[in-house]
Amino acid sequence: MRINIAIDGPSAAGKSTIAKKLAEHLGYVHLDTGAMYRCTALKAVRNGIALDDEQGVCTMLENTDICLMTDGTVFLDGEDVSKAIRTDEISLAASAVSKMPQVRADLVARQQKMAEAKGFIMDGRDIGTVVLKDAELKIFMTASPEARAERRYKQNIEKGIPTSDVETIAEEIRQRDYEDTHRAASPLKKADDAVEIDTSYMSIQEVCDAILSLAEPFLVREGSNE
Ligand code: DC
């Protein structure tokens, strides 16, 4: 039996990077749920749907295909939008659509369906509390806004994504933290049974090793077919 691993935490805490590496190591599938909210936001913006028009966004979603490939490529209705969903404008728009309960219900249902087969590492804000309440391992990953802004800035430069300076990114991160933790629908919060890891001063490898050692008891059981 394979397990599911839930990784939640604020934006730019390194969730996707870590989840991707762990998935490669374990031969699991990484599912970046933030990319689904970003796709929803991108399509709404492109179609001129107001970011407070919940019904409009929901109706749009009914005819929207979001496909997350194992190599990290994101397809929206067949178009590769991997870069287009990472701009600062779409980050803010994604935060707006993620407040809509009906949008969340639609995307959560898609995520739960995908994870039925087990062997998933899913990262987001509500994975341990809503999407995969029964995940065998739940991680709550945090880092200071300054550390996260530095990382996001470097990542943007490396990926050729237009970027603001570090201080502006840190300010946006603080704003999104506030919005993610104070919204009414599934606010970002640590599940009671999640293990918190502050990655501010940890390398990617150190975080992976910490999670792997927490997963080990389950993986051993998996190997012995118990
Ligand atoms: O992780 P990210 O920055 O790509 O997420 C984009 C937005 O989507 C962010 O504002 C939080 C929101 N989100 C969410 O509400 N629930 C999730 N499971 C994943 C992301």
> Is 149:169 a contact under the CB 8 Å cutoff?
yes
Nearest CA to ligand 1 atom 6: 34
- Indicate whether 16 pLDDT > 70: yes
Q: Which domain holds residue 160?
A: 5-212
pLDDT digits (tens, 9 = 90+) for 171-206: 988 988 998 899 899 899 999 999 999 999 999 999
CB neighbourhood size of 134 (10 A): 8
Average pLDDT value for residue range 58-86:
95
Residue 49 inside a domain? The answer is yes
Dist. CA 34 → ligand 1 center (Å): 4
Closest CA to 118 of 187, 8, 218: 218
- pLDDT digits over 83-129, tens only? 999 888 998 899 899 999 999 999 999 999 999 989 999 999 999 99
CA-wise closest residue to 108 among 121, 98, 117: 98
CB 173 within 8 A of CB 88: no
Backbone angles phi and psi of 44, in degrees to 5: -60, -45
Is 222 among the domain residues?
Answer: no
pLDDT at 1 over 80: no
Distance 126 CA to ligand 1 centre (A): 9
Taking a C-beta distance cutoff of 8 angstroms, is the pair 204, 147 a contact?
Answer: no
Residue 174 domain-assigned (yes or no): yes
Residue 223 placed within a domain = no
The model carries a pTM of 0.90
Task: Kindly report the CATH number assigned to the domain that includes residue 57.
Answer: 3.40.50.300
Bridge partners, 31 (sequence order): 122
Query: Structurally, how many domains does the chain consist of?
Result: 1
Q: Whose CA is nearest to atom 16 of ligand 1?
A: 125
Cα(35) to ligand 1 centroid in Å equals 7
- Does 153 reside within a domain? yes
Higher per-residue confidence, 86 vs 207:
207
Q: Does the residue 225 lie in any domain?
A: no
Residue 226 lies in a domain: no
Confidence at residue 223, expressed as pLDDT on a 0 to 100 scale: 52
Ligand 1 atom closest to residue 107's alpha carbon, by position in its atom list: 18
Residue 160 covered by a domain = yes
pLDDT interval class at 214 (50, 70, 90): very high
The candidate with the shortest Cα–Cα distance to 96, out of 48, 31, 50, is 50
